[in-house]
Structure 1
Amino acid sequence: MQLPTTFDDLIEEADNLNLYKKLIVQLNKDFLLANLDLGFHEDILPSSLKLLLHETVYKLIQEKFTEYLNLLYIIDVSEKAIKSLSGEDTLKLAEEVSFLILRREWQKVWFRNSY
């Protein structure tokens, strides 16, 4: 499996395989497991998804760091990938972490669909 390198590539691949809604369902499931009350509607536009996820991750980093770490653990985002990010600009960090979250969720959905 070749992992997407941008948000647009990820969404395009999910759309092409008709797995976008399953990606949203997986994201909702893991947010619920992390006790975060944020449910994305299955028909959410990709641009809205990106914006809402970015905003949520930013707020978690700023205000609820323990919940942020718990979310990363539950989703199983690579610790190595997180450590490789620069933490100087929190807004940019939140954007990059949002993409890592979506990419990991995409892996789960893709594997479940393929095997």
Structure 2
Amino acid sequence: MLEEKNSLELLKAVETENLVIKLIEQLNKDFQLANIDEEFKLNISTLALKNNLDSLLLNLITKKYDDYLNLLYRIDVSENEMATIKNDNLLNTIENISFLILKREFQKVLLRKMYS
């Protein structure tokens, strides 16, 4: 179902499935539920979405770590997958976390689509 290895491949699959708006809506919903006052525009390009998510995660990790942890919990990012991320470079780490967030949100959207 999800064979992609990075955020750009994943977002290309989301575009192929015509689920970009649903993915953004799910992201916005989970950010709101995590009490993070950020919202992605529904007409944003997938590359801009990835870049905005990366910069938002950088800000959360460096300035609002508790909010970052709350977001991961709210989105339900796998702890096992988080444990596999190498912490050698902050930007690479953020890109990997961004991928895990997008992957989990896409899973939610796909499951909702399949069972509705």
Q: CA RMSD in A?
A: 1.1
Q: Does 1:93 align with 2:89?
A: no
Taking every aligned residue pair, what percent have the same amino acid on both sides? 43
Residue 58 (structure 1) aligns with: 58
Cα distance in 2 for partners of 1:25, 1:35 equals 15
Name the amino acid aligned to 1:70. N
CA contact (8 A) 2:6 2:96 kept: no
Which of 6-15 and 20-29 deviates more?
A: 6-15
- Which residue is 1:83 aligned to? 83
Q: Where does the alignment leave 5 or more consecutive residues of structure 2 unmatched?
A: none
Residues 31 and 71, structure 1, Cα contact 8 Å, conserved in 2: yes
TM-score by length of 2: 0.93
1:9 deviates by 2.3
Does structure 2 retain, via aligned residues, the 8 Å contact 1:40–1:49?
Answer: yes
Instruction: Name the structure 1 match of 2:22.
Output: 22
Letter in 2 for 1:12: K
SS of the residue 1:85 aligns to:
coil
With 42-51 and 2-11 compared, the bigger mean Cα shift is at 2-11
Q: Partners in 2 of 1:89 and 1:114 — Cα distance?
A: 37
How many residue pairs match? The answer is: 115
* Residue 88 of structure 1, CA deviation: 2.7
Asked if the contact 1:86–1:93 (Cα under 8 Å) also holds between the matched residues in 2, the reply is: yes
